[in-house]
Structure 1
Amino acid sequence: MGVFNAFMSLSGMIDTDVTEQEKLARHTSYRIGGKADLFVTCHSYHSLRRAIEVLAREQVPWVIIGKGSNLLVADDGYRGAVVTLGTEFSRFVVGEDGCTITVGAGAMLARLVNEALSRGLSGLEFAVGIPGTVGGAVSMNAGSRTDWIGSLIEDVVTYKPGEGIRHYAHDDIVWGYRTCGLPRDEIVLEITLSLKPASKDEIRAKMERSLTRRRRTQPMGVPSCGSVFRNPPNRSVGAMIEECGLKGFSQGGAEVSDIHANFIVNKGTATAADVAAVIQHVHGKIKETYGVELQPEVKFLGF
């Protein structure tokens, strides 16, 4: 039993790509992270189900990721299998009513936003510029301060290992700020969103305003994981960090952004240990100053 047997079994599977000792820095927006024992891309539901069964049988720990846009991977990597969703999970289907879109969890959120624009469907303008996959966006209820993807979702399809497909209507799920009440042991496969018809010019104008705001207030084009901490009720984490004089605070190649203090950026040479040290320092300073226990928005793998 183990990684070798899992690799041999997965190597012969249809719709499955598997590599050993894959550098996870290639698969995160931070461009940071050591190697995973196995990196598995499943291109169909049957491939995903069989892969998870093999990993369970061989007692290999596994985790599923999207594009790693809110993920910090340890410098030592991950002792187990990292699973991603491939071809079949990137499909789009527009409903007969012309206002609903069913999209696979592996599709890029940016592509979904552009698909909605091309069809004159409004509702996703707030998501322009948000990186990552649809599945990742659902799992963290991604959005802006006032809008989030969960409010648009009509239906979610998941896979529960060992049991099979499950369906959830919008009201079956508890949606909150940067949280989604789906069971953590289930994998999002696809979602259906309900959008509203609007003129393409109006949609494009809203998108441009949203993107301009992001470019003005966030460090675009530099490796980061987006917002590091969730905002406490009625507070801005960025403002709190800035008030503590922590803009520009750095450890090794990791630095609190001077554009938005809730972003910790990789200046090019940062290690996961550097980023973790900055996160810990900021967390401690905020607790000391305000008595607030910040909750991380970034996910940690391999720590």
Structure 2
Amino acid sequence: MNEARALEKAYLRLNREMSGRIYRNVSMAKQVTVRTGGPVAILAVANTISDLRLLLQTADRYRIPYFVLGKGSNLLVSDKGYKGIAIELGSDFKKISLDRHCIQAGAATSLSTLAQVAWKNSLNNLTFSVGIPGTLGGALVMNAGAHDGCMSNIVSTVTIYTHNCELQILNKTELGFGYRTSSIPSYGIIVEAMLKLEPGNQNRIRFLMERYFRKRKETQPFEHPSAGCVFKNTSGISAGKLIDGVGCKGWRIGDAEVSTKHANFIVNLGGATATDIYKLIKEVQLKVYREKGVLLEPEINILGEFKDE
């Protein structure tokens, strides 16, 4: 079965069971924070585990790739689009409950919401997440962090919906956490997680949250769309300092620009294509490698086809 036929059959099957939550050829420019990119073949809003089962079984049956969209905050999708299924986790995956110093939360819960819940309940250790865009699931997959804190420091267990359509609870030691990485995608899709926090002073927690958010606004280019930090730091060296050190700040291809405020951000000045951004990523990588001997590794996820020149 060819690709187009497989996608059509998959859409018809899904639309019968999930009518009103299945969409065709949705522009990713409205779904990702960098505000550019081509269409995804199928966008599905999964509100329940049953929805996830149907989606994964359909993807397997018709051999269609899929990914979990989250808030699209570290994602670049090709101008040609993505010939697969984008899964957005809905209502059942946004629930939050507290048990003393632990927060149990669905994978689609935003980090900003979790930080507010922790503060209101005088729970420490989530202040580092203030201002980090995205969901709990995405933050765990990439072990997001800042201000000497990261997700692997506070997670206790993660519940995964496996590629074989089974629920599996994994503890922290099984998740392969590293710097901005984890082994979670090899298991399946995060549906919820337990975060183990510590009691703290509510006023102190609020003070740190406000300070960290203020610092982000002062040092990062909030005035233009972006996909967040483009590259991972390497061997304890800031990617932004490496990029700035070789003179890449302000480089432009089309309306894609290496931010003059923070060199590890590539911003969309209004009309940037995904290709513009991708080419600029490659140009920066090449410049840093030639002058510093360091090959920067992208922190953002890149989906679809891009042409390397």
Q: Same fold by TM-score, threshold 0.5 exceeded?
A: yes
Aligned to 2:113: 111
Uncovered stretches (5+) of structure 1, i.e. residues with no partner:
none
Uncovered stretches (5+) of structure 2, i.e. residues with no partner:
none
Match of 1:135 among 137, 142, 155: 137
Aligned to 1:259: 261
- The secondary structure found in structure 2 opposite 1:226 is strand
1:231 counterpart letter in structure 2: N
Work out whether residues 257 and 266 of structure 2, in 8 Å CA contact, stay in contact via their aligned partners in 1: yes
Measured in 2, the distance between the counterparts of 1:174 and 1:185 equals 11
Match of 1:222 among 220, 224, 249: 224
Aligned to 2:56: 52
Q: How big is the shift at 1:58?
A: 2.2
Aligned to 1:92: 96
- The secondary structure found in structure 2 opposite 1:69 is coil
Q: How big is the shift at 1:145?
A: 5.2
User: CA distance change for structure 1 residues 179 and 4 in 2, over 3 Å: closer, same or farther?
Assistant: same
Moved more, 159-168 or 33-42: 159-168
The residue correspondences of 1:169-184 to structure 2 (distance < 5 A) are 169-184=171-186
> Aligned pair count?
301
Match of 2:21 among 5, 9, 17: 17
Q: How big is the shift at 1:178?
A: 0.6
Q: How big is the shift at 1:61?
A: 2.1
- The secondary structure found in structure 2 opposite 1:63 is strand
The residue correspondences of 1:149-298 to structure 2 (distance < 5 A) are 149-298=151-300
- The secondary structure found in structure 2 opposite 1:297 is coil
Work out whether residues 141 and 185 of structure 2, in 8 Å CA contact, stay in contact via their aligned partners in 1: no
Measured in 1, the distance between the counterparts of 2:22 and 2:96 equals 25
Task: Note if 1:300 corresponds to 2:302.
Answer: yes
Aligned to 1:69: 73
- The secondary structure found in structure 2 opposite 1:76 is coil
2:261 counterpart letter in structure 1: I
Q: How big is the shift at 1:122?
A: 1.0
- What TM-score, normalized by structure 1, do the two folds share? 0.96
User: CA distance change for structure 1 residues 243 and 210 in 2, over 3 Å: closer, same or farther?
Assistant: same
Q: How big is the shift at 1:116?
A: 1.0
Q: CA RMSD in A?
A: 1.4
2:286 counterpart letter in structure 1: G
Per-residue Cα deviation, 1:197-226 (whole angstroms, up to 9, x for no partner): 122211100101111111111112421111
1:255 counterpart letter in structure 2: E
2:248 counterpart letter in structure 1: L
Measured in 2, the distance between the counterparts of 1:134 and 1:19 equals 24
Q: How big is the shift at 1:253?
A: 0.5
Q: How big is the shift at 1:14?
A: 4.9
- What TM-score, normalized by structure 2, do the two folds share? 0.94
Measured in 2, the distance between the counterparts of 1:180 and 1:130 equals 18
Measured in 1, the distance between the counterparts of 2:52 and 2:20 equals 8
User: CA distance change for structure 1 residues 75 and 223 in 2, over 3 Å: closer, same or farther?
Assistant: same
Q: How big is the shift at 1:279?
A: 0.4
- The secondary structure found in structure 1 opposite 2:21 is strand
Task: Note if 1:3 corresponds to 2:2.
Answer: no
2:160 counterpart letter in structure 1: T
User: CA distance change for structure 1 residues 185 and 171 in 2, over 3 Å: closer, same or farther?
Assistant: closer
Work out whether residues 19 and 39 of structure 1, in 8 Å CA contact, stay in contact via their aligned partners in 2: yes
Measured in 2, the distance between the counterparts of 1:219 and 1:88 equals 33
Work out whether residues 224 and 264 of structure 1, in 8 Å CA contact, stay in contact via their aligned partners in 2: yes
